Amino acid sequence: LQHLPQNAHLIDVRTAEEYESGHVSGAKNISVDQIKTKIPTAVPEKTDVIILYCRSGNRSAQAGKMLEELGYKVILDAGGIIDYKGEQIKGSEPGPLPGQYK
């Protein structure tokens, strides 16, 4: 994550409750059932880099297909947070992307 361009967006597609219990720092929460309606505001540029993850990889794969249908060009499926080895942030705030201090 430290080497991503400024136009990269880390999206957690789990429910708000799952997100608040622990998420990757810098991840925005847009649940898979809201991805089609909320992603155009969160990521207006269709050429921006979108990195998706969920709990195990199933919902992020579904969300990736939806984003493809909406015309997004650079979609990376990071799979599930169950495989993530880094520290997780609790609560509803995304926190900074690793390597970015705001």
Please name the amino acid found at residue 63. A
**Which among 13, 49, 52, 54 is annotated as catalytic?**
54
DSSP secondary structure of the chain? -TT--TTEEEEE-S-HHHHHH-EETT-EE--GGGHHHHHHHH---TTSEEEEEESSSHHHHHHHHHHHHTT--EEEEEEEGGG--S-EE-SS---PPTT---
| 56 is annotated as an active-site residue | no
Residues with a catalytic annotation lie at: 54
